[in-house]
């Protein structure tokens, strides 16, 4: 065992350097520290490396971890807390030799800890340290703890697997460790609230301690924890004292101004600052003790630690608010030039430039609203007060577009009117929006959509125009014209407006069903469903028609369970889309009624038709919609007349058997097809005969065709 020499006590030989040499139990682990067992185990297993490097900014618990390691590892430890004096190669050499002399050779090897290695800057001192690492005998190692990148050469060690490298991301506390630290600091938070705080401070141990201090005495600690950020006074003081005050004024200004960027790179910083050479500055800062997180392995892209970023932004906002807005405008322009629309919009909003933000949002509004990104669009719009939305034409147009995609006709009309009053100049989009509202009937819808095309609609707006004129043609009995427009709308919407594309495909599937092209309808519905899933818009209310058509197609193809599931999804979405265009709501109700009837649910079919009829009364010039309702109602009445209770009580299993009765399959073969026994099929078939009031298979098929449960007779 070795003894402990404290820096406060002079050594016997004046030529010897001041240092601390510790046994495995010293320096003692501080009371209240949280065990870092997962990291200690990694360090204890480090028996085949020459160097352990703990590199992280201040407050990551490097020294505490080394103490815990020394307390649990059977190897002897020597400990040197480096100071600026050790930057003298002679003093460093003497200190290392003196420490190693205290380590008695053991078969398990030994560990020499050099804490605060960032204090070594002189090339000669670093050369001496590199040599010491290379000279370590097998089983022994050097452990460096440093706030910045150590200047020793480690490339060969890394290639040989002789280096254990622990960085800030390794030393960051897990949610469980962080919650334990908060408890030790006397902070009473539920685990989920504590875990959320750990996530916000990115596991930075010092940040958690500072948070605990900030929460002390708060009447509602949980609410205060949710608000804790880098602008907290305790955090700002720590970062200033430990990191920022030591920087030259130019570097600190660089950090403060570039804090407007979520992701910092040389080109982005150059654009924001109006200068060159930022890439070199970032590389230097990344190797210092600053809290930069590298986002790649090429030293080109970084982000500031969240708390540091928040502290710097708070300082910029407090000291130079107008400069902050100018910096955000520059960042917005740079991102827009690179095609990063989301970042450009975000910076425009943070610049509080409603005109710039409106222009950027409007350029992307149709694509976002119809491409599964309506949530992001709504989030951006919610950051503007209503009066600001109303003053800026492009913001009002964007709001109208969002409500168009969500099937909210009243809000669509409101914001379109507001946009016109504010001086909106996009006549093509306004005309197509008017057509989408469809308040004046089918013929006017087609005229408005065509006018929008004549005014130069393109992209998503052109696709929507084709959808509207295609639907109008369909409802006016022009099937060929409808097919041409809908196919064109589907092609143009595939990339520019996926939601428009799937609605075109659903309309085309209805046309195929009307032409008894079951395979074509199934293929079209399959394409529409796949696009919904791919783009992530299956929960958009306006997608309800797609599921309604899918339910009808699957009911025709005897996929009873799938058809029932599609009915449920369409019905759920329909509740959020009933404020859309009249034709859309009526057509969806009629399609669902057809599917319900096909599945033997006469009560649901009748209710859907009643709703469609009520909607029809408020729809001028409905085209064929009135005839469609009447046609399905005839089928419902025929169904009911045949049997008020029998057919309507067909179970899902009986419906599956009914779909197979027109085939030449025997009961045994039907059972193999449905993966049940032939006796089960026979039982279901006789139940069908009884409920349809028939005596044999052929009579059951005929009665089901009369009722619309099977294809065949009108």
361-382 pLDDT per residue, tens: 999 999 999 998 888 999 999 9
At 103, is the pLDDT very low, low, confident or very high (cuts 50, 70, 90)? confident
Tokens 């403060």 found at: 256
Short-list 114, 103, 166, 167, CA closest to 139: 103
The confidence score (pLDDT) of residue 579 equals 74
Dihedral-angle region of residue 422 (phi above 0 means left; psi in -120 to 50 means alpha; beta otherwise): alpha
Tens digit of pLDDT for each residue in 493-512?
999 999 999 999 999 999 99
- Distance in angstroms (rounded) separating the CA atoms of residues 260 and 346: 11
Question: Which is nearest to 255 in space by CA: 273, 230, 242, 275?
Answer: 273
Residue 698: pLDDT above 90? no
Q: Among 586, 540, 510, which residue's Cα sits nearest to residue 406?
A: 540
Could you give the CA distance from residue 395 to residue 327 in angstroms, rounded to a whole number?
Answer: 22
Q: What percent of the chain has pLDDT over 70?
A: 93
Question: Phi and psi dihedrals of 163, rounded to 5?
Answer: -130, 130
CA–CA distance from 527 to each of 366, 533, 616 (Å)? 22, 10, 30
Which pLDDT tens digit goes with each residue over 137-196?
A: 888 899 999 999 888 888 888 888 889 999 999 999 999 999 999 999 989 899 999 999
In angstroms, rounded to a whole number, what is the distance separating the alpha carbons of residues 667 and 689? 14
Residues in the chain: 714
Residue 516 backbone class (left: φ over 0; alpha: ψ -120 to 50; beta: rest): left
Question: By the 8 A CB rule, do 546 and 574 touch?
Answer: no
Q: Say yes or no to pLDDT of 1 above 60.
A: no
Residues 6 or more apart whose CB falls under 8 angstroms from that of 45 comprise: none
Query: Domain coordinates of the chain in residue numbers?
Result: 37-171, 175-228, 426-631, 647-707
Task: Give 15's pLDDT tier (boundaries 50, 70, 90).
Answer: very low
Instruction: Identify whether the C-beta of residue 24 lies closer than 8 Å to the C-beta of residue 104.
Output: no
pLDDT at 679 over 60: yes
Per residue in 540-582, pLDDT (tens digit) is 889 999 999 999 999 988 788 899 999 999 999 988 765 778 9
Q: Kindly state the helix (H) or strand (E) to which residue 53 belongs, with its residue range.
A: strand 51-55
What's the pLDDT at 288? 86
- In sequence order, what are the beta bridge partners of 304? 292
Short-list 410, 408, 380, CA closest to 394? 380
Per-residue pLDDT band at 3 (split at 50, 70, 90):
very low
Q: Spell out the long-range contacts of 562-566 with Cβ–Cβ below 8 A and sequence spacing 24 or more.
A: 563/595, 563/598, 563/599, 564/599, 564/652, 566/595
37-171 maps to which CATH number?
Answer: 3.40.50.300
Q: Is 90 exceeded by the pLDDT of residue 134?
A: no
* Confidence check: pLDDT of 713 > 70: no
Confidence band (pLDDT; 50, 70, 90) for 591? very high
Residue 692 has pLDDT above 70, yes or no: yes
SS3 300: coil
Q: 684 versus 564: which is more confidently predicted? A: 564
pTM: 0.80
Looking at domain 647-707, its CATH architecture is Orthogonal Bundle (1.10)
Q: Is 50 exceeded by the pLDDT of residue 203?
A: yes
Q: Which CATH superfamily is domain 426-631 in?
A: Tetratricopeptide repeat domain (1.25.40.10)
Q: Using alpha carbons only, what angle is made at residue 710 by residues 706 and 714, rounded to the nearest 5 degrees?
A: 40
Query: Which of the residue ranges 463-467, 580-584, 710-714 would you say has the lowest mean pLDDT?
Result: 710-714
Q: Ramachandran region of residue 535, left (φ > 0), alpha (ψ -120 to 50) or beta?
A: alpha
- pLDDT at residue 7, as a whole number: 33
What φ, ψ does residue 53 adopt, rounded to 5°? -115, 120
| 287-316 residue pLDDT tens | 888 899 888 878 789 999 999 999 999 999
Whether residue 257 is predicted with pLDDT greater than 80 in this model: the reply is yes
Residue 607 has pLDDT above 70, yes or no: yes
Q: Does the pLDDT value for residue 352 go beyond 70?
A: yes
Query: What is the arithmetic mean of pLDDT over 132-136?
Result: 87
Mean pLDDT of the chain: 89
pLDDT category of residue 639 using cuts at 50, 70 and 90? confident
- Tell me the angle at which helices 582-598 and 625-642 cross, rounded to the nearest 10 degrees: 20
Is 235 within 8 Å of 307 (Cβ atoms)? yes
Residue whose entry in the numeric block shows the structure tokens 């009829």: 613
pLDDT tens readout for residues 49-101: 999 999 999 999 999 999 999 999 988 899 999 999 999 999 999 999 888 88
Q: What is the mean pLDDT of residues 455-463?
A: 96
Q: What is the pLDDT of residue 453?
A: 97
Mean per-residue pLDDT for 447-461? 96
**Cα gap 259→298, rounded to integer Å:** 21
């Amino acid at each position: 065992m070795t003894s402990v020499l404290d820096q406060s006590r002079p050594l016997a030989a004046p030529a010897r350097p001041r240092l601390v040499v510790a046994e495995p139990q010293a320096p003692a682990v501080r009371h209240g520290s949280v065990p870092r067992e997962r990291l200690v185990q990694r360090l204890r297993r480090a028996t085949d490396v020459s160097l352990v490097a703990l590199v992280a900014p201040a407050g990551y618990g490097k020294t505490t971890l080394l103490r815990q390691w020394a307390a649990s590892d059977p190897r002897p430890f020597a400990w040197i807390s480096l100071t600026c004096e050790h930057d003298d190669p002679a003093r460093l050499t003497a200190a290392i030799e003196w420490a190693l002399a205290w380590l008695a050779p053991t078969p398990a090897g030994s560990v020499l800890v050099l804490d605060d290695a960032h204090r070594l800057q002189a090339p000669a001192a670093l050369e001496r340290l590199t040599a010491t690492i290379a000279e370590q005998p097998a089983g022994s190692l050097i452990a460096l703890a440093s706030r910045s990148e150590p200047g020793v050469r480690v490339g060969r060690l890394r290639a040989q697997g002789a280096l254990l490298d622990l960085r800030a991301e390794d030393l960051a506390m897990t949610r469980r460790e962080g919650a334990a630290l908060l408890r030790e600091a006397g902070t009473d938070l539920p685990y989920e609230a504590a875990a959320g705080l750990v996530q916000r401070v990115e596991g930075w141990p010092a940040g958690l301690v500072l948070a605990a201090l900030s929460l002390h005495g708060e009447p509602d600690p949980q609410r205060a924890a949710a608000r804790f950020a880098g602008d907290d006074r305790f955090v700002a003081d720590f970062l200033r004292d430990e990191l920022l005050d030591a920087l030259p004024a130019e570097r600190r200004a660089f950090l403060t101004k570039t804090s407007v960027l979520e992701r910092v790179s040389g080109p982005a910083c150059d654009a924001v600052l109006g200068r060159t050479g930022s890439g070199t500055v970032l590389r230097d800062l990344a190797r210092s003790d600053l809290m930069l997180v590298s986002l790649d392995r090429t030293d080109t892209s970084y982000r500031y630690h969240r708390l540091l970023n928040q502290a710097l932004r708070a300082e910029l906002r407090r000291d130079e608010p107008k400069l902050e807005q100018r910096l955000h405008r520059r960042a917005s322009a740079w991102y827009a030039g690179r095609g990063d629309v989301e970042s450009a919009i975000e910076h425009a909003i943070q610049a509080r430039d409603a005109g710039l933000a409106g222009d950027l949002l409007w350029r992307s509004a149709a694509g976002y609203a119809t491409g599964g990104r309506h949530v992001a669009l709504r989030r951006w719009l919610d950051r503007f007060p209503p009066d600001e939305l109303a003053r800026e034409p492009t913001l009002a147009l964007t709001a109208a577009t969002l409500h168009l995609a969500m099937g909210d006709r009243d809000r669509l009309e409101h914001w379109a009117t507001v946009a016109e009053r504010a001086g909106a100049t996009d006549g093509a989009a306004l005309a197509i929006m008017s057509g989408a509202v469809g308040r004046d009937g089918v013929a006017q819808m087609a005229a408005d959509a065509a006018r929008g095309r004549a005014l130069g609609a393109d992209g998503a707006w052109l696709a929507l125009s084709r959808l509207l004129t295609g639907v109008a043609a369909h409802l006016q009995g022009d099937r060929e014209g409808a097919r041409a427009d809908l196919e064109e709308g589907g092609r143009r919407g595939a990339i520019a407006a996926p939601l428009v594309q799937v609605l075109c495909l659903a309309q085309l599937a209805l046309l195929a069903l009307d032409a008894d092209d079951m395979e074509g309808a199934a293929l079209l519905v399959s394409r529409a469903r796949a696009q919904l899933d791919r783009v992530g818009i299956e929960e958009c209310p306006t997608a309800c028609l797609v599921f309604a058509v899918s339910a009808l197609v699957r009911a025709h193809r005897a996929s009873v369970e799938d058809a029932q599931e599609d009915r449920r999804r369409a019905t759920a979405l329909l509740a959020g889309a009933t404020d859309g265009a009249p034709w859309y709501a009526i057509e969806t109700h009629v399609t669902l009624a057809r599917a319900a009837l096909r599945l033997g649910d006469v009560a649901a079919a009748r209710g859907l038709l009643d709703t469609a009829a009520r909607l029809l009364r408020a729809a001028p010039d409905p085209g064929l919609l009135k005839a469609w309702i009447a046609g399905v109602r005839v089928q419902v009445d025929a169904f009911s007349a045949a049997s008020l209770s029998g057919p309507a009580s067909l179970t899902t299993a009986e419906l599956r058997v009914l779909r197979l009765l027109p085939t030449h399959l025997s009961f045994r073969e039907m059972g193999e097809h449905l993966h049940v026994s032939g006796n089960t099929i026979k039982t279901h078939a006789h139940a069908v005969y009884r409920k349809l009031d028939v005596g044999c298979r052929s009579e059951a098929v005929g009665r089901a065709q009369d009722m619309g449960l099977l294809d065949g007779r009108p």
